Amino acid sequence: MSAYDVLCIGNAIVDIIARCDDAFLVENGIIKGAMNLIDVERSALLYERMGPAIETSGGSAGNTAAGVASLGGTAAFFGKVSNDHLGEIYRHDIRAQGVAFDTRPLDGHPPTARSMIFVTPDGERSMNTYLGACVELGPEDVEEEKARGAKVTYFEGYLWDPPRAKEAIRMTAEIAHAAGRQVAMSLSDPFCADRYRGEFLELMRSGTVNIVFANEHELLSLYQTASFDAALSAFREECRLGVVTLSERGSIAVTREETVSIKPVPVENLVDTTGAGDLYAAGFLFGYTHGRSLADCGRLGSLAASLCIQQIGPRLQVSLKDAAGQAGLL
């Protein structure tokens, strides 16, 4: 028996979300649609310039864990916060969603990570992340029983940014594989895929990772090509299961044997794309760990993503289980 459907590992981040126009991004040197890493000084400067904001727990893999739980799945999370107010918010929100979260917090320094997210009128989000406490996540934070007990261990590529999180990932993957489990990752961001191309490809080629989630920009970045078909062919060969999200064109799941195209769920009112990919992964992995077909996994992912982008912030304000039930997917 598995203790958890999905164990997620990621940077534990509180999101600070505000609207801005495109000129603001240009004036402040923020790369649109990307995750921009910033230091504490730039964090203070951008906050000073930021409009009225709302705060919500975030972090890519944390969002996925919350999404799995919102679907009625069992999820656990490894991630580092500090013993400060944002850390309290983070811990409260993920536990209140039903996710097991027991990573030991830091004693206040560096502070809990925050990402200032600017949402432009087109709904696109541009993130500015101060990693704070996340830089301290390391192999000592691996909880063996959870690593052994989760059907799928899922981590975000962003974890290659802090210095020692990758050691925690390699250790967790080893434990998971030894227990006959599977390991999944997300490429996170085109620039992240570019920064760690070699290591990400090695993770795939060595079988450390079995399932990889990417959007098309990340996939093209990983393979340094402008040809989607070429990238997809390589991707199909190099991971056991590759899942590519294509925004309003849906998504596609590939193995060496099959290619499954998944239609998007229509979106009436695009508000904020923050968390779309994370929630897609949540829906997909819930389906996958419940023995559903790849097509059904993709449908669950699309539904979760569509709900996510019609609200502010990456943590769903509605029950994904109810929504999936109404859509006939459960």
Binding site for a second copy (CB under 8 A): 18-19, 47, 50-57, 66, 84-86, 89, 92-94, 96-97, 311-313, 315, 317
Min dist CB 90 to a second copy, Å, is 10
Give whichever of 55 and 194 is closer to a second copy, judged by the CB atom: 55
Task: State the minimum distance, in angstroms, from the CB of residue 289 to a second copy.
Answer: 21
Closer of 227 and 319 to a second copy (Cβ): 319
- The answer to whether 116 and 46 have CB atoms below 8 angstroms apart is yes
Least gap, CB of 240 to a second copy (angstroms): 33
Helix axes 276-288, 294-308, angle to 10 degrees: 150
Query: Least distance from C-beta 128 to a second copy, angstroms?
Result: 15
We find the least distance from the C-beta atom of residue 87 to a second copy, in angstroms, to be 10
CB of 313 to a second copy, least distance (A): 6
- Contact of 277 with 186, CB cutoff 8 Å: yes
Minimum CB separation of residue 225 from a second copy in Å reads: 39
Nearest 10 degrees: Cα torsion 173, 177, 183, 187: 50
* Cβ distance to a second copy smaller for residue 2 or 311: 311
The two structure tokens encoding residue 56: 């919500």
Nearer to a second copy, 206 or 269 (CB): 269
Spatial contact of 58 and 13, defined as CB atoms under 8 Å apart: yes
Which token pair is 46? 């951008």
- Exposure string (b/e) for 141-160, b if CB count within 10 Å is 16 or more? bbbeebbbbbbbbbbbbbbb
Q: What is the dihedral of CA 1, 151, 313, 303, to 10 degrees?
A: -90
Task: Closer to a second copy by CB, 287 or 313: give it.
Answer: 313
Q: Which of 113, 86, 87 is nearest to 101 (CA)?
A: 87
Q: How many CB atoms lie within 10 A of CB 121?
A: 9
Continuous segment of H or E residues that includes residue 234: helix 228-238
- Closer residue to a second copy, CB minimum distance, 5 or 84: 84
- Closest CB to a second copy among residues 89, 179: 89
| Residue (116 or 253) nearer to a second copy, CB | 116
Q: Got the DSSP string for 58-90?
A: --HHHHHHHHHHHTT--EEEE---BSSHHHHHH
CB of 54 to a second copy, least distance (A): 4
Q: Is 310:264 a contact under the CB 8 Å cutoff?
A: no
Extract the tokens encoding 225.
């090509």
